[in-house]
Amino acid sequence: MIKKILIVKNRAMGDAVIGLGAVQFLKQQYPNAQIFYGVPKWVLPLFNETSTSADCIIPLSFRGLFDWWKMLLFMWREQFDLVYEMNQSGRSGKFFAAAKKVMGFRYFYHNHNYTDETIVFEQGVKKPNIQRDLDGLWSALCLLLPKRPARPNYLNYIPQMKWTGNSSNRVTLGVVATRETKMWPLENFVKLAHHLVADFSCEIIIPLSSSLKDQSIRKELEELGLPQGTHFVVAPLNELPAELGASRLYIGNDTGLKHISIALGVPSISFFGPEQPLEWHPYDQGKHPYFFIDGLDCRTKDAHFCGLETCNAKVCMEGISVDCVYEKSRELLG
């Protein structure tokens, strides 16, 4: 009876990419249903030049009454049978709860609370984010499907974004991060770039935005002396998959760039400092190894992770040596 489904993840860019794993699982359970995937409006262009398991990817915005009205008209036109929301937020939750009363679709979600219809397996347990999405969806499907499906494993649902293009002899360096404490030192990136260019004759690309912060990072990298053949990529979101997908390897901080690269099939090496990799690196460590210094008391002083924006010590990131990263890079580059 379920012919049209809306699955939603109204969060950051990396979260939207991670959510593709749940979309893939949902498509397996309802292969004949039409599946719409809702992501933040500003993230939508990222998927313009790629294909995913979703039949259609739509923009989401719940900022005001006009946005609510547009979304309500869209849902009335499409007549969804099922809506599932990952990491439900306050605004979106209120909207879908109201729309449900008008249209009568089944609505499930997972967040940090229980509801009568939403029973999330292992609620509150720290786990890989793909697994959290899968477990929430699986809990809902156990109530919907006549036969209870097997609980999915996150390693079988690595997000996939398919693009049409050719790979090249390039390495992507992901030097930016959402906060300073998550950044591997820029001088280490420069040293590593010189090693890679000398031994593999590869092109180095460094994706940046046009923000003042990123342009300041660019200036500092140039002053540190990048090797010839290094290119800074300031591309709109719709062009970013082609830039990243052509790489042989992604090396960098834990950001949305990493998740996009992995979804495009690019091997990766990630750096973790203030946050443990359990939740934010739900990938096979053979193809996607990471560096993380365990056992630092400062990291768990106030919570299970360090939430500092800046830090004078930076032992968690500065302790990751260039030589160790280079050796791991050689393994992956062959």
DSSP 180-248: GGGPPPHHHHHHHHHHHHHHH-PEEEEE--SSHHHHHHHHHHHHH-PPTTEEEE---GGGHHHHHHT-S
Residue 273 domain-assigned? Answer: yes
User: CB count, 10 Å around CB of 6?
Assistant: 24
Domain of residue 217: give its range.
Answer: 170-333
Q: Which residue carries 């974004």 as its tokens?
A: 161
Domain boundary among 123, 156, 189: 156
Q: What average pLDDT does the segment 238-242 reach?
A: 96
Q: Does residue 215 fall inside a structural domain?
A: yes
Mean pLDDT value of segment 31-47: 97
Q: What is the pLDDT of residues 73-130, one digit of tens each?
A: 999 999 999 999 998 878 898 999 999 999 999 999 887 554 445 556 777 788 999 9
164 inside domain: no
What pLDDT is recorded for position 89? Answer: 77
| Residue 165 domain-assigned (yes or no) | no
Residue-wise pLDDT tens digits, 180-212: 999 999 999 999 999 999 999 999 999 999 999
Q: What pLDDT is stored for residue 220 in this prediction?
A: 97
**Of the candidate ranges 2-11, 31-40, 122-131, 220-229, the one whose mean pLDDT is the lowest:** 122-131
Last residue of a domain, one of 111, 126, 156: 156
Burial class (CB in 10 A: 0-12, 13-18, 19+), 216: exposed
pTM of the model: 0.94
Q: Which residues contact 126 (CB under 8 A, 6 or more apart)?
A: 278, 279, 304
Lowest mean pLDDT among 51-55, 186-190, 235-239, 295-299: 295-299
The answer on 318 and 177 residing in a single domain is: yes
- The count of structural domains within the chain is 2
Which of 132, 156, 180 is at the close of a domain?
156
Residue 168 has pLDDT above 70, yes or no: yes
Residues 292 and 193 in one domain: yes
State whether 297 and 149 are in the same domain: no
Same domain for 179 and 141: no
CA-based nearest residue to 264, from 167, 174, 331 = 167
**3-state SS class at 16:** helix
Q: What is the pLDDT of residue 303?
A: 83
Tell me, yes or no, whether 136 lies in a domain: yes
Here the CATH number for the domain that contains residue 188 is: 3.40.50.2000
Mean pLDDT of 15-40: 97
Asked if residue 198 is part of any domain, the answer here is yes
Q: What is the pLDDT of residue 88?
A: 84
**4 pLDDT more than 90:** yes
What pLDDT does 116 receive?
Answer: 46
Instruction: Tell me the average pLDDT of the chain.
Output: 93
Same domain membership, residue 187 and residue 92 = no
Among 10-24, 69-83, 234-248, 296-310, which stretch is predicted with the lowest mean pLDDT?
Answer: 296-310
> Which amino acid is residue 167, in one-letter code?
S
| Each residue's pLDDT tens digit, 285-306 | 999 999 999 999 899 888 888 9
In a domain, 315, yes or no: yes
Residue 161 within any structural domain of the chain: no
Residue 79, sorted as left (phi over 0), alpha (psi -120 to 50) or beta, turns out to be: left
